[in-house]
Amino acid sequence: MAERTQTPGPAQAPTDTHAAAAAAAEADPGRFWLDAARAVTWIDPPRSAHADTGNGLVDWFPGATLNTAHNALDRHVGAGLGEQAALLYVSATTGREHAYSYRELLDQVRRAAGALRDLGVGRGDRVLIYLPMIPEAVVSMLACARLGAVHAVVFGGFGAAELAARIDDAQPSVVVTATGGLEPGRTVPYLPLLDAALAEADWRPRHVVVVDRPEVCEPAGRTVGWPEHRWAELLADAEPADCVPVPATDPLYILYTSGTTGAPKGIVRDNGGHAVAMSWCMPHVYGIGAGDVVFAASDIGWVVGHSFIVYGPLLAGATAVLFEGKPVGTPDAGAFWDVVERHRVSVLLTAPTAMRAIRREDPRAELLAGYDLSSLRGIFLAGERLDPDTQQWLCDVQPAPVVNNWWQTETGWPVISNFLGLTYFPPRPGSSTKPVPGFTVAILGHDGKPVAPGQEGDVCLRLPLPPGTLTSVWGDEDRLARSYLTEHPGYYCSGDGGHVDDDGYVYILGRTDDVMNVAGHRMSSGQIETAIAEHPGVSECAVVGARDELKGQRPYAIVVPEVAYAERVAELATEVGDLVRRRVGPIAALGGVSVVPALPKTRSGKIVRRCLRQILDGDDPDVPPTIENPAVVTDLTIRLAADSPTRSPS
C-alpha cells in the first residue's frame, strides 16, 4: 500500500506563532510563565516564577496564593457567565441529560464543599473519589479544590485489592462513592468492592459518602463498620462553603498511573502551576475559549478527564461534556458524532483505540455521514500510538483536522502536538508534530547524548519542567527520582522511545521496554506495527518480542482483523508477514502472526503488551488490575499456545 498523508487542516499562519512562543519560553522561561500567569485570578500574585527543590524539579510560583475552584467557577459567574453552560451531562447508558450552568454548578460545588467541611475535611486532607461518570464526580473534585483538600480519583469499578492499596497510600479522611456504575448491558455494584477494599486496607477513612443511583441498588443485608452518609442528604443540610486560599505549591490532586503493578504510584499536581498550564494550553494548543464546547471522551479516573473534562474547560470559561457511555454499543458507532452534532462540540479528545473501534463498526462511515459535524474544529488523539491508517481514515471521513498529540499522566498536558491556537503544521503520518512551547524534547542514546535526526533513542524532557507537570510521587521522593530523574541526569525520562526528523517533527514509537533485540539489532514494536497497520484487513495490531534461541528475540504480531477479513485468517497472516518484510526489511521477519478477536487493554485503552509477551514466552501472564477485558487474556493464552495456521513463521 502506498504511503498516505493526512489532508492539511487550517491554512498555516503567515508568521510562525509556534516558533515565537517556543523561542520566548526557551529564552526566559520565568518571564514567559509569569506572563501566562496573568490569565489566572490570584489572591497573592506571584512575584517570582519558580524555586529549586533540589531534585531537578522546581516549585512554580512560590509565595503566591489562589483557589483553583474560584478560577474554575466563581470568577466566571462574577464576570457575567453565570447562565452559560459549564457542564453537559450526557448519559448514553440511561438516556438522561442535563446542562449545568456556571451558576448551578457553583451552587452544587459550594454545598458539596460545605458537606465535606462538616465531615472535617480541610486544607491538605485527602478525599478519595470512587465514582462513575456522573455530575457528582465533577462536583466532588471541585469541592475538594474549594476547601484546599487533595482529591485522589480512582476509576469507578476498580478492583478491591488495588482500591485498598490506593486507600492505604493516600490515607483519605473521606471516601465518596456511588451504589454503582453502568456498562453496556450490565451494572457494576461499587459498594461490595469498596467494602472489601476497606476490610483489606490498613487505613480507615473517617467517613464514607454514597451517591444513590436508581439503576444500582445497595446490596441487601449489607453491614458497615464506619460512618456512612447519603450524598443527597448531606448536601440538603449543608451550608455553602467559601473558597479557602491555598499556596500555589499546595497539592491539588493525586492521580495514580494506569497499569501500575506493585505499590501504587501517585502523581502529584500542584494548584498554581496547574492552573497556569491549563489556562495557557486551552487557547494555544486547542484553540478553546469562553463559550466553546469541549468533549473529552475519557473518564475522570484518567489524566485526560482531570485536565480536559474538569479543569481545563472550566478554567477557560468553556463548556465541558461529561459523557457516560462507550464509543460503540451505547447504542452504536455514531454515539460520539451524535454528541458533537447536538451539543455543537468545538473540539473532541479521545484515544486512538476509540476511533479504531468506531472504524471497525462503521468502516465506510455510513453512520458518521448522517451527522452534522460543522461545529468541530479539531479531533485530538492521545494516550497511545496513533497508527497512520486510523489517522488517515478519520481525515477522509470528516473535515476537521486530526491531531496526534503525546503526553502522559506525569506531564498533565500535551508535550508534543499540532496547534489550533498557534501555527498549524502540515501533519506527517506517525508523528505527533512539534514540541509544545515550554517543553524541550531531547532524544538521547544510552550514553545520555543526543542522537542524530532519524535515529531512535529515549524521549526525554530537559529539566526543569514547565508548570502543570508532576511535582512529586505521593509519599515517595526516592521513587520520583528512580522512576524519572536518574537515568539521564538533567532530564525527565519519559520511558518512551522515538526519534526526530530533520524538520523537528517528533515520532513516538512506544515504551522503551517494547524495544526488541533481534540478532543484535534493536527495533521498536511501533516501527513494525506502523507497517502492519497499512494492511486494509488489519483493525488493530500489537507486536512484541518473543524469546528465540537463535536470535534472542523475534517480533511476533497479534492482529485483530477488519470485519471483511474475519473469515480470511490464513490469507491475512501471510500477507501481514509479507508486508513487514517489504516495509521494514528481512531483519524484522516475523516469528509468527496470530489473528485474534481482541487485544488485552487497560481501561484507558492501552494494549497490555507485557501479557502478550509472557504468553508467547510460555510464562503465566501478569494481568494488571487496570485491564478492561481480563477474559481476553485467557482466550489468547489458549489461542497463542495452539499450533494453528495463523501462527506460522513468515
pLDDT digits (tens, 9 = 90+) for 556-611: 899 999 888 888 988 999 999 888 887 776 666 788 898 998 888 876 667 887 78
| Helical (H) or strand (E) element with 305 | helix 303-305
Tell me how far apart the alpha carbons of residues 482 and 519 are, in angstroms, rounded to a whole number: 30
**pLDDT band for position 474 (cuts 50, 70, 90):** very high
Tell me how far apart the alpha carbons of residues 468 and 470 are, in angstroms, rounded to a whole number: 7
Which range, of 16-20, 126-130, 584-588, averages the lowest pLDDT? 584-588
- 551 or 176, which is more confident: 176
Tell me how far apart the alpha carbons of residues 264 and 165 are, in angstroms, rounded to a whole number: 7
Check pLDDT > 50 for residue 384.
yes
Average pLDDT of the chain? Answer: 90
CB of 623 within 8 A of CB of 611? yes
Q: What is the CATH number of domain 519-647?
A: 3.30.300.30
Q: What confidence score (pLDDT) does residue 503 get?
A: 97
C-alpha cell recorded at residue 425 = 503544521
Which range, of 265-274, 488-497, 545-554, averages the lowest pLDDT? 545-554
What is the model's pTM? Answer: 0.84
Q: What confidence score (pLDDT) does residue 603 get?
A: 66
**Interval 25-71: pLDDT, tens:** 999 999 999 999 999 999 999 999 999 998 899 999 999 999 999 99
Tell me how far apart the alpha carbons of residues 153 and 171 are, in angstroms, rounded to a whole number: 13
Check pLDDT > 50 for residue 468.
yes
**Interval 129-172: pLDDT, tens:** 999 999 999 999 999 999 999 999 998 888 888 899 999 999 99
CB of 510 within 8 A of CB of 497? yes
| The dihedral sign for the CA sequence 108, 109, 114, 118 | positive
Q: What confidence score (pLDDT) does residue 587 get?
A: 64
Q: What confidence score (pLDDT) does residue 353 get?
A: 83
Check pLDDT > 60 for residue 7.
no
Q: Where are the domains of the chain?
A: 519-647
Q: What confidence score (pLDDT) does residue 516 get?
A: 67
Tell me how far apart the alpha carbons of residues 514 and 10 are, in angstroms, rounded to a whole number: 35
**Interval 494-548: pLDDT, tens:** 988 899 999 999 999 877 666 665 654 556 677 788 788 889 999 888 888 887 7
**Interval 195-228: pLDDT, tens:** 999 999 999 999 999 999 999 999 888 888 889 9
What does the longest C-alpha to C-alpha distance in the chain come to?
A: 72
- 78 or 592, which is more confident: 78
Q: Stretch 78-82: mean pLDDT, rounded? A: 97
Check pLDDT > 80 for residue 73.
yes
Q: Which residues contact 96 (CB under 8 A, 6 or more apart)?
A: 89
Tell me how far apart the alpha carbons of residues 218 and 194 are, in angstroms, rounded to a whole number: 12
**Interval 275-299: pLDDT, tens:** 999 999 999 999 999 999 999 999 9
Q: What confidence score (pLDDT) does residue 346 get?
A: 98
**pLDDT band for position 550 (cuts 50, 70, 90):** low
Check pLDDT > 70 for residue 119.
yes
| The dihedral sign for the CA sequence 361, 367, 368, 373 | negative
CB of 464 within 8 A of CB of 56? yes
Q: What whole-number percentage of the chain has pLDDT above 90?
A: 69
| Helical (H) or strand (E) element with 234 | helix 231-237
CB of 375 within 8 A of CB of 346? yes
